[in-house]
Structure 1
Amino acid sequence: MKTEESSVPIRVGIISDTHGVLREDVKEVLRTCSHIIHAGDMDRSFIVSELTPIGKLYAVRGNCDGEWASSYLDTYPFSIGGVKFFLIHNRKKVPYPRPKVDVIVFGHSHKYFYEKKDGVLWLNPGSCGRRRFYGDLTMAVMTIQNGSYEVEKITFGSEEEDARKLSKENSLSIAMIQKILTSMQKGKQINQIAKELSLQAELVETVCRIAVTHPGVNAEGIYNKMEVNRINE
């Protein structure tokens, strides 16, 4: 499929690996775009339902997308504003010889990647769903005009900002953080801890991540890092 070049700037939101989480700050960025590219691992059908009213959606199926996504292809070539794209979830599965396109968009690694090689841009927007133990939450916005493009990397809230928001919602205490740490040390999984303590899994994951990435920190240190006192004033 080929589209003509446009003299009017076209904004394209590029995301991947949302894994059943569509953050409000991500949607705010996407609402400024007329086209949305999702490089797979949507993980839940409601992601599609929420994205399609925002802009024209181009998506492929990722390894975590179940039967509900059977209508989505593993690869998807298309054009926007005269720029040719090839969309796939896993970079390792890009066919050879390489597609004759301007941009190859992929995901899977949850890590932002931007590299131009032999006239082709290889772009992984990273993950903008649930925060993991490593890396930032990111996406990309591409502006296309007259057949050329520019790419902006968007990084969302720091670990501390997410932690403050979650702690405010859950009125987290030092004692509760200690219970999370104790359960973590016993080898319990995040979802199990969340269920036993009646907490959001995302909150438990955040506490565990801070504990892992800041060796030696205790419950009070995590509490202070999440700035619960300031929030609850």
Structure 2
Amino acid sequence: METTRIVLVSDNHGDSECLNYLKQTYSDYDLFVHCGDSEMDPEQMNGFICVKGNNDFLYYNAVPDHQVLHVRGHTIYVCHGHMDFLSYFHYETMVQRAKAHGADIIFFGHVHTYDDEVIDGVRLLNPGSIRHNRDGSRASYMLVEISEDEISVTKKEYGKVSQPGFLEKLIQKLLGG
């Protein structure tokens, strides 16, 4: 059975070391997908399929809002997610947008928490943040294997613990956290 292996990552917020680690560690994987908030020059993201996040304002016009991938009979809607939330963890708008593209899988980021769930027949996969997760869990990314018959997901913790940057700390304070 033919399988496509994907490294799925999001929200590294300028940390290039973690992306280099992924490319070296998983050099035999087929695709590297980044769900936004890289805060890096698009040239530094060479080898990654990327979408822009709400913090990617320096290169905002150089990266698309979303991408649609076709992998082993599946359609994947890739987005950051910040444009689709009514509030955190209410994903109905994002699911509707993905379905409009014929997608049965969504890769997204933004909330800095790992997620793997199905809503209205669409599988939502969020690798969490490879920099730091907001739920107290370790920084994470995801390995996804897709065949025509199966989608396999493995949550991986990133070994280096990173502290929130200035902008993230400010946002947390403004939100009362």
TM value normalised by structure 2: 0.72
* Aligned: 1:11 with 2:5: yes
Equivalent residue for 2:88? none
Determine which of 145, 150, 153 is the counterpart of 2:152: 150
Distance of 1:132 and 1:98 partners within structure 2: 25
**Map 1:54-133 → 2, pairs under 5 A:** 57-90=48-81, 91-92=84-85, 94=94, 96=96, 98-99=98-99, 100-129=102-131
Q: Secondary structure at the match of 1:68?
A: helix
Quote how far apart the aligned CAs of 1:148 are.
2.9
Q: CA deviation at 1:117?
A: 2.5
Residues 19 and 130, structure 1, Cα contact 8 Å, conserved in 2:
no
Aligned residues: 153
Distance 1:27 1:36 in 2: 8
In structure 2, give the amino acid aligned to 1:111. Answer: T
Whichever structure has more strand as a proportion of its residues is 2
Q: How high is the sequence identity, in percent, across the aligned residues?
A: 24
Residue deviations 1:190-218, cap 9 Å, x none?
Answer: 87xxxxxxxxxxxxx9xxxxxxxxxxxxx
2:73 and 2:135 map into 1 onto residues whose CA distance is: 38
Encode CA deviations 1:65-92: one digit per residue, 9 max, x unaligned.
0232412221222212222101111251
User: Secondary structure of 1:150's match?
Assistant: strand
Residues 73 and 157 from structure 1, CA distance in 2 versus in 1: closer, same or farther, beyond 3 angstroms?
same
Measured after TM superposition, the shift of residue 132 of structure 1 is: 6.8
Cα deviations by residue, 1:145-198 (Å, 9 ceiling, x for unpaired): 235321111112275xx79xxxxxxxxxxxxxxxxxxxxxxxxxx87xxxxxxx
- Greater RCO, 1 or 2 (C-alpha within 8 Å, sep 6+): 2
Aligned to 1:209: none
TM-score, L = length of structure 1: 0.56
Which letter maps to 2:31?
Answer: H
The answer (yes or no) to whether the contact 1:30–1:36 under 8 Å persists in 2 is: no
- The question of whether the paired residues in 2 share the 8 Å contact of 1:10 and 1:34 is answered with yes
The Cα of 1:131 is off from its aligned counterpart by: 7.0
Relative distance call for 1:21 and 1:14 in structure 2 (3 A) is same
Per-residue deviation, 1:44: 1.2
